[in-house]
């Protein structure tokens, strides 16, 4: 079976799929294509009063693309409330490779020189695929998410994919849409360029190709999740 490559991973995202492993030690990667897809409309992002207060107070320093590997490793950590992770070593290495190529980014919340929370995802055209977030201090991941939305809005992004909708994401305005509608919105977003504002400078987010789902079929079996 051919190895999964960064290019193949981008192909999957552009086809509407995303990968998941069963846990850190399991090498098997499944392709997920939910019937109902989670998205967070940028124009309706909701910040609670307490979150706005935390941001105004400057409790956390927001940095972008300063510690991508640290963020993804923190997202993969096993915790009492989450005894398993969907990130295995192969996926972590692939996302780090995408980051080096400018296709994956992290937004981080720092406190007293320490990484307190963050979010990372994949960028293609005007679509941003939010992958995972973590927190080690109250509101740290929320501040990172708010900073991400601010940058995506400023950069002309049209789609923030959250994959699924949790109660936590619903508080920020995340909604579920049908697979067919998601694919239409994805194709429109992929046909448009955007700009991701990193601490190292503006990164133009384009789409080098428009693949079909068949492009990844030879690499892994596709698992559809209802």
Whether the CB-CB separation of 111 and 140 falls below 8 Å is answered with yes
Q: CB-based burial of residue 44 (10 Å sphere; 0-12 exposed, 13-18 middle, 19+ buried)?
A: exposed
Higher pLDDT, 192 or 207: 192
DSSP 15: T
What is each CA distance from 107 to 11, 29, 113, in whole angstroms? 24, 25, 15
Higher pLDDT, 150 or 211: 150
- How do beta strands 18-21 and 29-32 pair? antiparallel
**Length of the chain in residues, anyone?**
226
**For 36-87, how does the pLDDT look when each residue is reduced to its tens digit (9 = 90+)?**
999 999 999 999 999 999 999 999 999 999 999 999 999 998 776 665 778 9
Classify domain 6-18+36-216 at the CATH topology level. Aminopeptidase (3.40.630)
Whether the CB-CB separation of 34 and 164 falls below 8 Å is answered with yes
**For 140-153, how does the pLDDT look when each residue is reduced to its tens digit (9 = 90+)?**
999 999 999 999 99
**For 113-123, how does the pLDDT look when each residue is reduced to its tens digit (9 = 90+)?**
999 999 999 99
Which ranges constitute the DSSP H helices of the chain? 6-14, 49-57, 68-75, 89-100, 140-154, 167-170, 179-190
* Domain assignments of the chain as residue spans, ordered by start: 6-18+36-216
């Amino acid at each position: 079976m051919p190895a999964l490559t960064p290019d193949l991973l981008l192909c999957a995202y552009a086809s509407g799929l995303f990968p998941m492993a069963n846990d850190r030690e399991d090498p098997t990667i499944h392709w997920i294509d939910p019937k109902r897809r989670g998205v967070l409309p940028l124009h309706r992002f909701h910040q609670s009063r307490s979150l706005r207060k935390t941001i105004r107070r400057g409790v956390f320093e927001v940095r972008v693309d300063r510690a991508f590997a640290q963020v993804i490793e923190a997202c993969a950590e096993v915790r009492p409330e989450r005894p398993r992770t969907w990130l295995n070593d192969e996926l972590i290495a692939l996302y780090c490779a995408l980051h080096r190529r400018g296709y994956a980014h992290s937004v981080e919340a720092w406190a007293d020189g320490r990484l307190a929370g963050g979010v990372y995802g994949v960028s293609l055209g005007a679509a941003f695929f939010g992958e995972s977030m973590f927190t080690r201090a109250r509101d740290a991941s929320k501040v990172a998410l708010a900073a991400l939305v601010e940058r995506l809005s400023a950069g002309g992004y049209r789609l923030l994919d959250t994959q699924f909708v949790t109660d936590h994401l619903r508080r920020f305005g995340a909604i579920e849409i049908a697979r067919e509608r998601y694919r239409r919105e994805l194709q429109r977003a992929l046909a448009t360029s955007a700009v991701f504002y990193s601490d190292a400078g503006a990164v133009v987010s384009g789409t080098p190709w428009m693949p079909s789902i068949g492009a990844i079929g030879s690499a892994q079996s596709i698992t559809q999740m209802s």
